[in-house]
Structure 1
Protein backbone atom coordinates (compact mmCIF):
# COMPACT_ATOMS: atom_id res chain seq x y z
CA UNK A 1 0.00 0.00 0.00
CA UNK A 2 1.51 3.39 -0.96
CA UNK A 3 2.29 5.99 1.68
CA UNK A 4 -0.35 8.62 2.35
CA UNK A 5 0.17 11.80 0.31
CA UNK A 6 1.61 14.86 2.02
CA UNK A 7 -0.21 18.17 2.37
CA UNK A 8 1.36 21.54 1.48
CA UNK A 9 2.83 21.90 4.97
CA UNK A 10 4.51 18.49 4.81
CA UNK A 11 2.01 16.69 7.09
CA UNK A 12 0.58 13.34 6.09
CA UNK A 13 -2.97 13.53 4.75
CA UNK A 14 -5.57 11.29 6.36
CA UNK A 15 -8.28 9.18 4.78
CA UNK A 16 -11.77 8.95 6.22
CA UNK A 17 -13.59 5.64 6.66
CA UNK A 18 -16.74 6.59 8.62
CA UNK A 19 -18.24 3.10 8.80
CA UNK A 20 -14.99 1.57 10.06
CA UNK A 21 -14.57 4.39 12.59
CA UNK A 22 -18.10 3.85 13.94
CA UNK A 23 -17.45 0.13 14.36
CA UNK A 24 -14.18 0.73 16.16
CA UNK A 25 -15.84 3.37 18.38
CA UNK A 26 -18.41 0.79 19.47
CA UNK A 27 -15.79 -1.87 20.26
CA UNK A 28 -13.59 0.60 22.16
CA UNK A 29 -16.54 1.95 24.15
CA UNK A 30 -17.62 -1.52 25.29
CA UNK A 31 -14.01 -2.39 26.16
CA UNK A 32 -13.64 0.79 28.22
CA UNK A 33 -16.90 0.51 30.21
CA UNK A 34 -16.41 -3.20 30.88
CA UNK A 35 -20.14 -4.00 30.95
CA UNK A 36 -22.95 -4.65 28.44
CA UNK A 37 -24.77 -1.62 27.02
CA UNK A 38 -27.98 -1.23 25.05
CA UNK A 39 -27.93 0.11 21.50
CA UNK A 40 -29.61 3.28 22.74
CA UNK A 41 -26.95 3.82 25.40
CA UNK A 42 -24.16 3.18 22.91
CA UNK A 43 -25.67 5.74 20.53
CA UNK A 44 -26.02 8.32 23.32
CA UNK A 45 -22.46 7.88 24.54
CA UNK A 46 -21.04 8.09 21.03
CA UNK A 47 -23.37 10.99 20.18
CA UNK A 48 -24.69 9.25 17.10
CA UNK A 49 -28.19 8.33 15.92
CA UNK A 50 -29.65 5.04 17.07
CA UNK A 51 -30.32 3.99 13.46
CA UNK A 52 -26.67 4.27 12.34
CA UNK A 53 -25.46 2.50 15.50
CA UNK A 54 -28.05 -0.24 14.97
CA UNK A 55 -26.65 -1.02 11.52
CA UNK A 56 -23.10 -1.26 12.86
CA UNK A 57 -24.19 -3.39 15.81
CA UNK A 58 -26.01 -5.77 13.47
CA UNK A 59 -22.88 -6.31 11.39
CA UNK A 60 -20.62 -6.68 14.45
CA UNK A 61 -23.01 -9.32 15.84
CA UNK A 62 -23.02 -11.17 12.53
CA UNK A 63 -19.21 -11.19 12.49
CA UNK A 64 -19.09 -12.49 16.07
CA UNK A 65 -17.58 -9.43 17.76
CA UNK A 66 -20.67 -8.65 19.87
CA UNK A 67 -23.06 -10.88 21.79
CA UNK A 68 -26.42 -10.04 23.31
CA UNK A 69 -26.79 -10.50 27.07
CA UNK A 70 -29.33 -13.23 27.81
CA UNK A 71 -32.80 -11.88 28.54
CA UNK A 72 -31.90 -8.24 27.82
CA UNK A 73 -31.26 -5.93 24.88
CA UNK A 74 -27.75 -5.13 26.10
CA UNK A 75 -24.64 -5.96 24.08
CA UNK A 76 -21.18 -7.04 25.18
CA UNK A 77 -17.88 -7.89 23.55
CA UNK A 78 -17.48 -11.53 22.63
CA UNK A 79 -14.23 -13.52 22.84
CA UNK A 80 -13.56 -12.78 19.17
CA UNK A 81 -11.05 -9.97 19.78
CA UNK A 82 -9.36 -12.02 22.48
CA UNK A 83 -9.05 -14.98 20.12
CA UNK A 84 -7.53 -12.74 17.45
CA UNK A 85 -5.03 -11.45 19.99
CA UNK A 86 -3.92 -14.97 20.89
CA UNK A 87 -3.36 -15.69 17.21
CA UNK A 88 -0.72 -12.93 16.92
CA UNK A 89 2.87 -14.25 16.71
CA UNK A 90 3.72 -13.25 20.30
CA UNK A 91 0.53 -14.77 21.70
CA UNK A 92 0.97 -18.01 19.77
CA UNK A 93 4.61 -18.31 20.79
CA UNK A 94 3.92 -17.77 24.48
CA UNK A 95 1.03 -20.23 24.53
CA UNK A 96 2.80 -22.88 22.45
CA UNK A 97 5.88 -22.75 24.69
CA UNK A 98 4.24 -22.52 28.10
CA UNK A 99 1.06 -24.57 27.78
CA UNK A 100 2.76 -28.01 27.44
CA UNK A 101 4.77 -27.26 30.59
CA UNK A 102 1.62 -26.20 32.44
CA UNK A 103 -0.10 -29.41 31.37
CA UNK A 104 2.81 -31.43 32.74
CA UNK A 105 2.70 -29.45 35.98
CA UNK A 106 -1.05 -30.05 36.37
CA UNK A 107 -0.69 -33.74 35.60
CA UNK A 108 2.00 -34.13 38.28
CA UNK A 109 0.43 -31.91 40.94
CA UNK A 110 -3.26 -32.36 40.20
CA UNK A 111 -3.73 -28.61 40.45
CA UNK A 112 -5.35 -26.31 37.89
CA UNK A 113 -3.13 -23.57 36.46
CA UNK A 114 -3.76 -20.33 34.59
CA UNK A 115 -1.41 -18.58 32.15
CA UNK A 116 -1.90 -14.84 32.69
CA UNK A 117 -0.65 -11.78 30.79
CA UNK A 118 -1.35 -8.05 31.06
CA UNK A 119 -3.28 -6.12 28.41
CA UNK A 120 -4.73 -2.59 28.69
CA UNK A 121 -3.98 -2.50 32.45
CA UNK A 122 -5.95 -5.73 32.96
CA UNK A 123 -4.95 -9.31 33.60
CA UNK A 124 -6.02 -11.68 30.84
CA UNK A 125 -6.06 -15.47 31.15
CA UNK A 126 -4.54 -16.86 27.94
CA UNK A 127 -4.86 -20.55 28.73
CA UNK A 128 -5.82 -22.91 31.54
CA UNK A 129 -5.18 -26.48 32.59
CA UNK A 130 -7.62 -28.32 34.82
CA UNK A 131 -5.55 -30.82 36.78
CA UNK A 132 -7.05 -34.09 38.00
CA UNK A 133 -8.20 -33.34 41.57
CA UNK A 134 -11.91 -33.81 42.20
CA UNK A 135 -12.27 -30.11 43.08
CA UNK A 136 -10.26 -27.31 41.49
CA UNK A 137 -10.81 -23.71 40.42
CA UNK A 138 -10.73 -22.90 36.71
CA UNK A 139 -11.78 -19.82 34.76
CA UNK A 140 -12.39 -19.38 31.05
CA UNK A 141 -9.67 -17.95 28.80
CA UNK A 142 -10.21 -14.22 28.41
CA UNK A 143 -11.17 -13.74 32.05
CA UNK A 144 -9.54 -10.68 33.55
CA UNK A 145 -9.40 -8.15 36.33
CA UNK A 146 -7.70 -4.76 36.89
CA UNK A 147 -3.99 -5.51 37.21
CA UNK A 148 -3.57 -3.92 40.64
CA UNK A 149 -6.51 -5.93 42.01
CA UNK A 150 -5.14 -9.33 41.01
CA UNK A 151 -2.26 -11.29 42.52
CA UNK A 152 -1.04 -12.28 39.05
CA UNK A 153 -1.17 -8.63 37.95
CA UNK A 154 0.89 -7.45 40.91
CA UNK A 155 3.38 -10.25 40.25
CA UNK A 156 3.85 -9.37 36.57
CA UNK A 157 4.18 -5.65 37.34
CA UNK A 158 6.76 -6.36 40.05
CA UNK A 159 9.13 -7.87 37.49
CA UNK A 160 9.25 -4.85 35.17
CA UNK A 161 11.30 -1.71 34.89
CA UNK A 162 9.42 1.44 35.90
CA UNK A 163 9.18 2.50 32.25
CA UNK A 164 7.70 -0.82 31.16
CA UNK A 165 5.32 -0.78 34.13
CA UNK A 166 3.97 2.61 33.08
CA UNK A 167 3.59 1.39 29.50
CA UNK A 168 1.65 -1.69 30.61
CA UNK A 169 -0.63 0.51 32.75
CA UNK A 170 -1.06 3.45 30.35
CA UNK A 171 -4.75 2.59 29.81
CA UNK A 172 -5.52 2.57 33.56
CA UNK A 173 -7.63 5.30 35.13
CA UNK A 174 -6.12 8.13 37.16
CA UNK A 175 -6.76 6.40 40.50
CA UNK A 176 -4.95 3.23 39.41
CA UNK A 177 -1.99 5.21 38.04
CA UNK A 178 -1.74 7.08 41.34
CA UNK A 179 -1.75 3.78 43.25
CA UNK A 180 0.86 2.37 40.89
CA UNK A 181 3.32 5.09 41.95
CA UNK A 182 2.45 4.96 45.66
CA UNK A 183 4.92 3.86 48.32
CA UNK A 184 2.55 1.11 49.45
CA UNK A 185 2.42 -0.57 46.05
CA UNK A 186 6.17 -0.05 45.59
CA UNK A 187 6.71 -1.98 48.84
CA UNK A 188 4.52 -4.83 47.54
CA UNK A 189 6.55 -4.97 44.32
CA UNK A 190 9.81 -5.08 46.27
CA UNK A 191 8.53 -7.88 48.52
CA UNK A 192 7.39 -9.94 45.51
CA UNK A 193 10.74 -9.47 43.76
CA UNK A 194 12.65 -10.54 46.87
CA UNK A 195 10.49 -13.66 47.24
CA UNK A 196 10.46 -14.43 43.54
CA UNK A 197 6.80 -15.43 43.75
CA UNK A 198 3.45 -14.48 45.26
CA UNK A 199 1.37 -16.51 47.71
CA UNK A 200 -1.73 -14.69 48.92
CA UNK A 201 -5.48 -15.13 49.41
CA UNK A 202 -7.33 -14.72 46.14
CA UNK A 203 -8.59 -11.17 45.62
CA UNK A 204 -11.58 -12.53 43.72
CA UNK A 205 -12.67 -15.94 45.08
CA UNK A 206 -13.24 -16.88 48.73
CA UNK A 207 -11.43 -19.89 50.26
CA UNK A 208 -8.75 -19.83 47.55
CA UNK A 209 -5.03 -19.19 47.96
CA UNK A 210 -3.20 -17.99 44.86
CA UNK A 211 0.31 -19.31 44.23
CA UNK A 212 1.91 -17.46 41.32
CA UNK A 213 5.35 -17.30 39.69
CA UNK A 214 6.64 -15.15 36.83
CA UNK A 215 7.67 -16.38 33.42
CA UNK A 216 10.80 -14.30 32.83
CA UNK A 217 11.54 -13.74 29.15
CA UNK A 218 14.94 -13.29 27.49
CA UNK A 219 14.88 -9.53 28.12
CA UNK A 220 14.74 -10.11 31.87
CA UNK A 221 11.18 -9.01 32.61
CA UNK A 222 8.00 -11.02 33.25
CA UNK A 223 6.19 -11.83 30.03
CA UNK A 224 3.47 -13.68 31.91
CA UNK A 225 2.60 -15.39 35.16
CA UNK A 226 1.42 -18.89 35.93
CA UNK A 227 -1.09 -18.87 38.76
CA UNK A 228 -2.32 -21.87 40.72
CA UNK A 229 -5.59 -21.27 42.62
CA UNK A 230 -5.49 -23.64 45.60
CA UNK A 231 -8.94 -24.41 46.94
CA UNK A 232 -9.10 -24.70 50.72
CA UNK A 233 -11.18 -27.72 51.72
CA UNK A 234 -12.25 -29.21 55.03
CA UNK A 235 -10.09 -32.16 56.02
CA UNK A 236 -7.68 -31.75 53.10
CA UNK A 237 -4.18 -30.39 53.67
CA UNK A 238 -2.63 -28.68 50.64
CA UNK A 239 1.16 -28.82 50.44
CA UNK A 240 1.72 -25.24 49.23
CA UNK A 241 5.50 -25.57 49.54
CA UNK A 242 5.59 -28.54 47.17
CA UNK A 243 3.28 -26.77 44.71
CA UNK A 244 5.48 -23.66 44.78
CA UNK A 245 8.66 -25.68 44.17
CA UNK A 246 7.12 -27.45 41.19
CA UNK A 247 5.62 -24.22 39.82
CA UNK A 248 8.93 -22.37 40.05
CA UNK A 249 10.62 -25.14 38.09
CA UNK A 250 7.87 -24.96 35.46
CA UNK A 251 8.20 -21.19 35.07
CA UNK A 252 12.01 -21.35 34.98
CA UNK A 253 11.90 -23.92 32.17
CA UNK A 254 9.31 -21.81 30.31
CA UNK A 255 11.61 -18.80 30.49
CA UNK A 256 14.53 -20.81 29.13
CA UNK A 257 12.46 -22.12 26.26
CA UNK A 258 11.25 -18.63 25.37
CA UNK A 259 14.87 -17.53 25.18
CA UNK A 260 15.71 -20.24 22.64
CA UNK A 261 12.46 -20.28 20.65
Structure 2
Protein backbone atom coordinates (compact mmCIF):
# COMPACT_ATOMS: atom_id res chain seq x y z
CA UNK A 1 0.00 0.00 0.00
CA UNK A 2 1.39 3.41 -0.99
CA UNK A 3 1.86 6.34 1.39
CA UNK A 4 -0.85 8.27 -0.45
CA UNK A 5 -3.33 5.39 0.01
CA UNK A 6 -2.46 5.17 3.72
CA UNK A 7 -2.98 8.91 4.15
CA UNK A 8 -6.26 8.67 2.23
CA UNK A 9 -7.53 5.92 4.56
CA UNK A 10 -6.48 7.96 7.60
CA UNK A 11 -8.51 10.92 6.34
CA UNK A 12 -11.51 8.76 5.41
CA UNK A 13 -11.85 7.30 8.90
CA UNK A 14 -11.20 10.46 10.90
CA UNK A 15 -13.48 11.12 13.87
CA UNK A 16 -12.65 14.70 14.91
CA UNK A 17 -14.95 14.82 17.94
CA UNK A 18 -13.59 11.54 19.30
CA UNK A 19 -10.00 12.66 18.68
CA UNK A 20 -10.71 15.92 20.49
CA UNK A 21 -12.12 14.12 23.54
CA UNK A 22 -9.22 11.67 23.66
CA UNK A 23 -6.71 14.52 23.32
CA UNK A 24 -8.26 16.17 26.39
CA UNK A 25 -8.21 12.97 28.46
CA UNK A 26 -4.61 12.19 27.54
CA UNK A 27 -3.53 15.75 28.36
CA UNK A 28 -5.26 15.86 31.75
CA UNK A 29 -3.88 12.42 32.66
CA UNK A 30 -0.39 13.89 32.79
CA UNK A 31 -1.21 17.06 34.76
CA UNK A 32 -1.56 17.58 38.51
CA UNK A 33 -4.00 20.25 39.66
CA UNK A 34 -5.98 20.47 36.45
CA UNK A 35 -6.04 22.99 33.61
CA UNK A 36 -8.37 25.78 32.56
CA UNK A 37 -10.19 25.65 29.24
CA UNK A 38 -7.77 28.24 27.86
CA UNK A 39 -4.74 26.25 29.04
CA UNK A 40 -6.11 23.08 27.46
CA UNK A 41 -6.65 24.90 24.19
CA UNK A 42 -3.15 26.41 24.27
CA UNK A 43 -1.45 23.06 24.93
CA UNK A 44 -3.46 21.36 22.19
CA UNK A 45 -2.95 24.33 19.87
CA UNK A 46 -6.66 24.89 19.30
CA UNK A 47 -9.22 27.64 19.92
CA UNK A 48 -10.77 27.60 23.45
CA UNK A 49 -14.25 27.64 21.93
CA UNK A 50 -13.56 24.26 20.31
CA UNK A 51 -13.43 22.55 23.71
CA UNK A 52 -16.41 24.00 25.57
CA UNK A 53 -18.99 21.38 24.51
CA UNK A 54 -16.51 18.51 24.71
CA UNK A 55 -15.48 19.45 28.26
CA UNK A 56 -19.13 19.77 29.24
CA UNK A 57 -19.86 16.23 27.99
CA UNK A 58 -16.80 14.78 29.71
CA UNK A 59 -17.86 16.40 32.99
CA UNK A 60 -21.45 15.14 32.65
CA UNK A 61 -20.22 11.60 31.90
CA UNK A 62 -17.94 11.66 34.95
CA UNK A 63 -14.57 11.40 33.21
CA UNK A 64 -13.57 14.97 34.08
CA UNK A 65 -14.42 17.14 37.07
CA UNK A 66 -14.55 20.93 37.30
CA UNK A 67 -12.51 22.39 40.14
CA UNK A 68 -12.50 25.82 41.73
CA UNK A 69 -11.10 28.47 39.44
CA UNK A 70 -12.65 26.88 36.35
CA UNK A 71 -9.98 24.19 36.19
CA UNK A 72 -10.67 20.75 34.78
CA UNK A 73 -9.13 17.58 36.18
CA UNK A 74 -9.37 13.89 35.38
CA UNK A 75 -11.51 11.74 37.69
CA UNK A 76 -10.85 8.11 38.58
CA UNK A 77 -13.55 6.81 36.24
CA UNK A 78 -11.07 5.65 33.58
CA UNK A 79 -9.01 3.90 36.23
CA UNK A 80 -12.14 2.22 37.54
CA UNK A 81 -13.01 0.98 34.07
CA UNK A 82 -9.52 -0.44 33.72
CA UNK A 83 -9.95 -2.34 36.98
CA UNK A 84 -12.98 -4.10 35.50
CA UNK A 85 -10.60 -6.05 33.27
CA UNK A 86 -11.13 -9.53 34.70
CA UNK A 87 -7.61 -11.01 34.36
CA UNK A 88 -6.10 -7.98 36.09
CA UNK A 89 -8.63 -8.23 38.94
CA UNK A 90 -7.88 -11.91 39.39
CA UNK A 91 -4.13 -11.36 39.34
CA UNK A 92 -4.44 -8.61 41.96
CA UNK A 93 -6.65 -10.82 44.14
CA UNK A 94 -4.05 -13.59 44.04
CA UNK A 95 -1.19 -11.17 44.61
CA UNK A 96 -2.54 -9.09 47.51
CA UNK A 97 -1.95 -11.55 50.39
CA UNK A 98 1.43 -12.57 48.99
CA UNK A 99 2.50 -8.94 48.60
CA UNK A 100 1.39 -8.22 52.16
CA UNK A 101 3.44 -11.16 53.42
CA UNK A 102 6.44 -10.00 51.39
CA UNK A 103 6.20 -6.51 52.89
CA UNK A 104 6.05 -7.91 56.42
CA UNK A 105 9.05 -10.19 55.91
CA UNK A 106 11.20 -7.71 54.01
CA UNK A 107 10.07 -4.54 55.85
CA UNK A 108 9.93 -2.94 52.39
CA UNK A 109 7.14 -1.73 50.11
CA UNK A 110 6.45 -3.61 46.89
CA UNK A 111 4.38 -3.28 43.73
CA UNK A 112 3.05 -5.37 40.87
CA UNK A 113 3.41 -4.12 37.29
CA UNK A 114 1.99 -5.42 33.99
CA UNK A 115 2.45 -4.40 30.37
CA UNK A 116 -0.85 -3.24 28.92
CA UNK A 117 -1.29 -1.83 25.43
CA UNK A 118 1.93 0.11 25.19
CA UNK A 119 2.55 0.93 28.85
CA UNK A 120 4.00 -0.61 32.00
CA UNK A 121 1.25 -0.03 34.58
CA UNK A 122 1.27 -0.44 38.36
CA UNK A 123 -1.80 -2.55 39.18
CA UNK A 124 -1.17 -3.19 42.90
CA UNK A 125 1.10 -1.91 45.60
CA UNK A 126 1.76 -2.76 49.24
CA UNK A 127 3.06 -0.24 51.75
CA UNK A 128 6.02 -1.04 53.99
CA UNK A 129 4.91 -2.04 57.50
CA UNK A 130 7.19 0.48 59.23
CA UNK A 131 7.65 4.21 59.00
CA UNK A 132 9.78 4.24 55.87
CA UNK A 133 9.27 2.87 52.38
CA UNK A 134 9.07 3.89 48.76
CA UNK A 135 5.73 3.33 47.06
CA UNK A 136 4.24 4.12 43.65
CA UNK A 137 0.59 4.97 43.14
CA UNK A 138 -1.61 2.30 41.61
CA UNK A 139 -2.39 3.26 38.03
CA UNK A 140 0.99 4.92 37.44
CA UNK A 141 2.63 4.39 34.06
CA UNK A 142 6.37 3.74 34.25
CA UNK A 143 9.10 3.35 31.68
CA UNK A 144 10.16 0.03 30.21
CA UNK A 145 13.69 1.32 29.75
CA UNK A 146 14.94 2.72 33.06
CA UNK A 147 13.06 0.75 35.73
CA UNK A 148 13.53 -2.74 37.16
CA UNK A 149 9.92 -3.63 36.40
CA UNK A 150 10.29 -2.57 32.78
CA UNK A 151 13.47 -4.58 32.35
CA UNK A 152 11.84 -7.71 33.76
CA UNK A 153 8.72 -7.37 31.60
CA UNK A 154 10.96 -7.15 28.52
CA UNK A 155 13.58 -9.69 29.59
CA UNK A 156 11.15 -12.56 29.95
CA UNK A 157 9.62 -12.20 26.49
CA UNK A 158 10.97 -13.45 23.14
CA UNK A 159 12.97 -10.91 21.14
CA UNK A 160 10.19 -10.24 18.57
CA UNK A 161 7.77 -9.44 21.41
CA UNK A 162 10.34 -7.18 23.08
CA UNK A 163 10.63 -5.19 19.89
CA UNK A 164 6.85 -4.90 19.53
CA UNK A 165 6.47 -3.78 23.16
CA UNK A 166 9.19 -1.18 22.70
CA UNK A 167 7.63 0.03 19.46
CA UNK A 168 4.34 0.59 21.30
CA UNK A 169 6.05 2.59 24.07
CA UNK A 170 8.36 4.67 21.91
CA UNK A 171 6.12 7.68 21.69
CA UNK A 172 7.55 9.78 24.49
CA UNK A 173 10.79 7.95 25.30
CA UNK A 174 13.70 6.97 23.09
CA UNK A 175 15.15 3.48 23.16
CA UNK A 176 18.42 3.38 25.15
CA UNK A 177 21.49 3.61 22.96
CA UNK A 178 23.29 1.56 21.88
CA UNK A 179 20.28 -0.70 21.53
CA UNK A 180 22.37 -3.88 21.28
CA UNK A 181 23.78 -3.26 24.75
CA UNK A 182 20.27 -2.76 26.10
CA UNK A 183 19.10 -6.09 24.68
CA UNK A 184 22.24 -7.74 26.07
CA UNK A 185 21.31 -6.36 29.49
CA UNK A 186 17.84 -7.89 29.17
CA UNK A 187 19.42 -11.26 28.33
CA UNK A 188 21.52 -10.99 31.49
CA UNK A 189 18.41 -10.26 33.56
CA UNK A 190 16.71 -13.32 32.10
CA UNK A 191 19.70 -15.53 32.79
CA UNK A 192 20.02 -14.28 36.38
CA UNK A 193 16.28 -14.56 36.99
CA UNK A 194 15.75 -11.04 38.36
CA UNK A 195 16.84 -7.42 38.00
CA UNK A 196 18.83 -5.43 40.55
CA UNK A 197 19.66 -1.87 39.60
CA UNK A 198 20.08 1.53 41.18
CA UNK A 199 16.94 3.58 40.78
CA UNK A 200 17.29 6.19 38.06
CA UNK A 201 14.50 8.22 39.67
CA UNK A 202 15.38 8.26 43.39
CA UNK A 203 18.86 8.35 44.95
CA UNK A 204 19.67 5.62 47.46
CA UNK A 205 17.02 3.20 46.16
CA UNK A 206 17.63 -0.13 44.44
CA UNK A 207 15.02 -1.64 42.16
CA UNK A 208 14.73 -5.36 42.88
CA UNK A 209 12.38 -7.02 40.38
CA UNK A 210 11.37 -10.61 39.65
CA UNK A 211 9.02 -11.98 36.99
CA UNK A 212 5.61 -13.54 37.50
CA UNK A 213 5.66 -16.17 34.78
CA UNK A 214 3.06 -17.93 32.71
CA UNK A 215 3.35 -21.63 31.94
CA UNK A 216 5.35 -20.83 28.80
CA UNK A 217 7.96 -18.81 30.69
CA UNK A 218 6.76 -15.43 29.47
CA UNK A 219 6.40 -12.64 32.04
CA UNK A 220 2.82 -11.70 32.82
CA UNK A 221 3.89 -9.24 35.52
CA UNK A 222 6.87 -7.90 37.44
CA UNK A 223 7.02 -7.93 41.24
CA UNK A 224 9.27 -5.12 42.43
CA UNK A 225 10.68 -3.90 45.73
CA UNK A 226 12.15 -0.38 45.76
CA UNK A 227 14.77 -1.35 48.35
CA UNK A 228 16.08 1.18 50.86
CA UNK A 229 18.60 0.47 53.62
CA UNK A 230 16.82 0.61 56.99
CA UNK A 231 19.21 1.96 59.62
CA UNK A 232 17.12 1.70 62.78
CA UNK A 233 15.44 -1.63 62.06
CA UNK A 234 17.19 -4.49 63.87
CA UNK A 235 16.78 -7.76 62.03
CA UNK A 236 15.75 -6.15 58.75
CA UNK A 237 16.70 -8.40 55.83
CA UNK A 238 19.67 -7.23 53.79
CA UNK A 239 19.44 -6.80 50.03
CA UNK A 240 20.54 -10.39 49.29
CA UNK A 241 17.84 -11.85 51.56
CA UNK A 242 15.26 -9.44 50.13
CA UNK A 243 15.99 -10.67 46.60
CA UNK A 244 15.41 -14.22 47.78
CA UNK A 245 12.08 -13.22 49.34
CA UNK A 246 10.99 -11.55 46.09
CA UNK A 247 11.91 -14.62 44.04
CA UNK A 248 10.00 -16.90 46.40
CA UNK A 249 6.93 -14.65 46.29
CA UNK A 250 7.04 -14.32 42.49
CA UNK A 251 7.26 -18.10 42.15
CA UNK A 252 4.22 -18.59 44.39
CA UNK A 253 2.27 -16.00 42.42
CA UNK A 254 3.28 -17.60 39.13
CA UNK A 255 1.83 -20.87 40.36
CA UNK A 256 -1.37 -19.29 41.72
CA UNK A 257 -2.09 -17.14 38.69
CA UNK A 258 -2.41 -20.22 36.51
CA UNK A 259 -2.53 -20.51 32.77
CA UNK A 260 -5.98 -18.85 32.42
CA UNK A 261 -4.93 -15.52 33.89
CA UNK A 262 -1.55 -15.70 32.20
CA UNK A 263 -2.99 -16.33 28.77
CA UNK A 264 -5.59 -13.59 29.10
CA UNK A 265 -3.00 -11.01 30.13
CA UNK A 266 -0.52 -12.08 27.49
CA UNK A 267 -3.18 -11.94 24.81
CA UNK A 268 -4.10 -8.41 25.88
CA UNK A 269 -0.50 -7.17 25.81
CA UNK A 270 0.84 -8.89 22.70
CA UNK A 271 0.67 -11.84 20.35
CA UNK A 272 1.40 -15.35 21.66
Deviation sequence 1:154-183 (CA, Å, 0-9, x none): 121111112222332333336846438811
- Matched position secondary structure for 2:169: coil
CA 1:242–1:47 in 2, change beyond 3 Å: closer, same or farther?
closer
1:186 pairs with 2:176 = no
TM-score (norm 1): 0.79
Does the 8 Å contact 2:147/2:207 carry over to 1? no
1:97 pairs with 2:94 = yes
What pairs with 1:55-204 in structure 2 (closer than 5 Å)?
Answer: 55-66=53-64, 75-173=72-170, 176=173, 178-179=175-176, 182-204=179-201
Counterpart Cα distance in 2 of 1:19 and 1:175 = 24
TM-score (norm 2): 0.76
| Structure 1 unpaired stretches of 5+ | 1-10
**What RMSD, in angstroms, separates the aligned Cα atoms of the two structures?**
3.1
CA 1:177–1:162 in 2, change beyond 3 Å: closer, same or farther?
farther
Deviation sequence 1:65-84 (CA, Å, 0-9, x none): 2356x887664544432332
- Matched position secondary structure for 1:245: helix
1:246 pairs with 2:223 = no
- Matched position secondary structure for 2:152: helix
- Figure out how many residues of one structure are paired with residues of the other and give that number: 246
Deviation sequence 1:200-235 (CA, Å, 0-9, x none): 211212221221101112332111111111222446
| Structure 2 unpaired stretches of 5+ | 1-8, 261-272
Deviation sequence 1:224-255 (CA, Å, 0-9, x none): 11111122244656511221112111111111
Counterpart Cα distance in 2 of 1:72 and 1:181 = 47
Counterpart Cα distance in 2 of 1:252 and 1:246 = 10
Counterpart Cα distance in 1 of 2:244 and 2:55 = 49
